[in-house]
């Protein structure tokens, strides 16, 4: 059996604003997107410390894409019933756009000029369709859903060291992701309903 250490808690970046009042969907999506990116990087770093090897920068990008797709669809499920359908669609679209811009900037830094946004968005859309086939009773991903996620990560790590990665994702990393996404959505939605854009400073 692999020796799997306890997963340290990842602290979320700031999810509260100094000024009270409603926040736009774009503002809340920006906070969610920044947190999902940070969470994905922290999971990646934790796995590196645990001895997993990811190979090339392109393989790392593929793994991060799987992380992000998983947590983004968790956000989508978590806001279901708490926002209107239109608000939910807008929020998730804004989150995806934020993450696509962040991924694009990072890939350009790592790999040089190229088309990175569309492949990332296409990957997110594909995963959202696939994850929609799985049940999440009570907001908790089913065993089949977790297994699918872990297998996708293992596939993305095919060029590196993927021994025990399925067990690592299902037993350690994915549960932490689920807890943090739930906390993130709860804290972000506490900002209130975005009835109107904020007034410009006078």
Give φ, ψ of 95 to 5 degrees. -60, -45
* 13-16 own/partner pairs: CB under 8 Å, 24+ apart: 13/38, 15/184, 15/187, 15/188, 16/187, 16/190, 16/191
Higher pLDDT: 65 or 193? It is: 65
DSSP 3-state assignment of 126?
helix
C-beta of residue 131 within 8 angstroms of C-beta of residue 148: yes
Cα dihedral 159, 40, 85, 144 sign: positive
Please name every residue paired with 53 in a beta bridge, in sequence order, or none if there are none: 161
SS (H, E, C) 75-94: HHHHHECCECHHHHHHHHHH
The angle, 0 to 180 degrees and rounded to 10, between the axes of the packed helices 57-79 and 25-49 is 130
Could you read off the pLDDT of 15-33 as tens digits, one per residue?
555 556 567 888 899 999 9
Q: pLDDT-based confidence at 8, cuts 50/70/90?
A: very low
Task: Please check the confidence at residue 14 and state whether its pLDDT lies above 70.
Answer: no
pTM: 0.84
Average pLDDT estimate for 116-122: 91
Q: Could you tell me the CA-to-CA distances from 132 to 50, 87, 145, 148 in Å, in that order? A: 31, 19, 9, 12
Please state, as a whole number, how many other Cβ atoms lie within 10 Å of the Cβ of residue 77. 18
Task: Please check the confidence at residue 189 and state whether its pLDDT lies above 60.
Answer: yes
CA dist 108 and 186 (Å) reads: 33
CA dist 165 and 149 (Å) reads: 11
Could you read off the pLDDT of 132-170 as tens digits, one per residue?
999 888 778 999 999 999 999 999 887 555 668 899 999
């Amino acid at each position: 059996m692999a020796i799997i250490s306890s997963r340290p808690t990842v602290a979320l970046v700031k999810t509260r604003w100094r000024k009270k009042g409603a926040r736009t969907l774009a503002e809340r999506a920006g906070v969610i997107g920044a947190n999902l990116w940070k969470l994905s990087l922290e999971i990646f770093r934790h796995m590196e410390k645990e001895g997993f090897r990811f190979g090339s920068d392109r393989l790392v990008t593929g793994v991060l894409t799987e992380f992000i797709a998983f947590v983004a669809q968790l956000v989508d499920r978590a806001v279901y019933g708490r926002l209107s359908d239109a608000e939910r669609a807008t929020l998730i679209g804004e989150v995806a756009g934020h993450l696509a811009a962040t991924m694009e900037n990072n890939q350009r830094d790592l790999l040089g000029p190229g088309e990175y946004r569309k492949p990332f968005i296409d990957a997110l859309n594909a995963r959202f369709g696939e994850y929609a086939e799985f049940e999440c009773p009570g907001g908790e991903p089913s065993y089949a859903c977790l297994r699918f996620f872990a297998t996708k990560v293992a596939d993305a790590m095919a060029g590196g060291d993927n021994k025990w990665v399925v067990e690592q994702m299902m037993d350690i990393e994915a549960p932490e992701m689920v807890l943090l996404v739930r906390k993130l959505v709860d804290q972000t939605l506490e900002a209130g309903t975005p009835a109107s854009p904020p007034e410009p400073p006078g």
